[in-house]
Copies of this chain bind each other. A is one copy, B any other.
Amino acid sequence: MKRVYNFSAGPAVLPVEVLEEAAAEMLDYQGTGMSVMEMSHRSKAFEGIITEAEQDLRDLLNIPDNYKVLFLQGGASQQFAEIPMNLMKNKTADYIVTGQWAKKAAQEAAKYGRVNKIASSEDKTFSYIPDCSDLPIDEDADYVYICENNTIYGTKFKELPNTKGKTLVADVSSCFLSEPVDVTKYGVIYGGVQKNIGPAGTVIVIIREDLITEDVLPGTPTMLQYKTHADAKSLYNTPPAYGIYICGKVFKWLKNMGGLEVMKARNEKKAALLYGFLDESRLFKGTAAKKDRSLMNVPFVTGSEELDAKFVKESKEAGFENLKGHRSVGGMRASIYNAMPYEGVEALVTFMKKFEKENL
């Protein structure tokens, strides 16, 4: 069996222990005589799976009791509509645009109400996070929206924006569970699981209870109302059961690793190794502003498109997968999520050093 170092931005590397367990349980989950894929979502066995998954996530993030955890479908892209449809009581929202996903979210929300772009870093290809300490927050804003970690550009909010009392909504798809979070600072934290938690097809929404109401925009589909899923504990209809099962295994893996403080230290150590090399390299250069560097996604370039292409090709041949940068920015990107071991980053840096020597 071959395993590569997979630097994909998402879907992305999962803990090998989780995959081994899933394989072993594929035909018979804990003596039930069936796969989790074959299991009624109303069965006791699945009730156990989803209940434990939620509790483990609550433990990891220290989620207060007045927040609901929802396991939904449709990815972050569906949330781009679901958020305004559920939260835009005043038909107004403030968006901070730090990348393609926040931009798309703002465009979608504009179908449902007035969207103010109160800050942006588009002037420098989203390579930094703007100062958000004193923004012109709209008095009528139902919420302030951010994409907390920008997968494509490798930036992250190191400090949350000052929302001046307004509800903060954050897409955390690419930094989900990478470090501890103070949930009480948010109204909604959500993310697709396919970067740091599980297989594509499940999106997790952590939402403060007072934001879950029947008072949604007219025409909001039943399936896009948070209340539908909160009332039914994510079992209004058949949920993405196998995905939730894998997420649950990753939550247990994270707890076994020591929780999010330990993961943060591990992630900082991995990132420091790679950024440290980029800062001293005479060939490679990181593209994100240093103060805003993401712990999860590390974009870099050589300065020559030809050399970039050569690097992507040769690194692939050497067993490093998915180092090509996003098609909208080019260059390279190493995504070093929770499940990427330190050894993977070490091997990558060794390979980069060798490449630098051969090509300078």
Contact = CB atoms under 8 A, between A and B. Distances in A.
A3 B33 contact: yes
A81 B221 contact: yes
Q: Interface of chain A, helix or strand or loop or mixed?
A: loop
A159 interface: no
A14 B35 contact: yes
Q: How many copies does the complex hold?
A: 2
Contacts of A239: 200-201
A317 interface: no
A209 to B, nearest CB: 23
A359 interface: no
Listed from nearest, the 7 A-B pairs whose CB atoms lie closest are: A201-B240, A81-B221, A4-B33, A23-B26, A37-B199, A77-B237, A73-B73
Given A40-B9, A199-B37, A240 B240 contact: yes
Given A11-B241, A241-B201, A322-B40, A78 B221 contact: yes
Contacts of A77: 222-223, 236-237
A93 B33 CA distance: 44
A348 B116 CA distance: 63
Contact of A33 (B38, B80, B219, B319): B319
27 contacts: A1-B27, A2-B31, A3-B28, A4-B34, A8-B38, A10-B40, A11-B38, A11-B40, A13-B34, A13-B38, A14-B35, A26-B26, A73-B74, A73-B201, A78-B223, A81-B221, A82-B221, A85-B221, A111-B221, A194-B238, A199-B241, A200-B238, A200-B239, A200-B242, A201-B239, A201-B243, A242-B243
A6 interface: yes
A74 B200 contact: no
A206 B336 CA distance: 38
Contacts of A322: 40, 43
Contact of A224 (B27, B192, B221): B221
Contacts of A183: none
A129 interface: no
Interface in A239-270: 239-243, 246
A27 B3 contact: yes
A237 B19 contact: no
A24 B240 CA distance: 22
A352 to B, nearest CB: 20
A45 to B, nearest CB: 10
A91 interface: no
A20 interface: yes
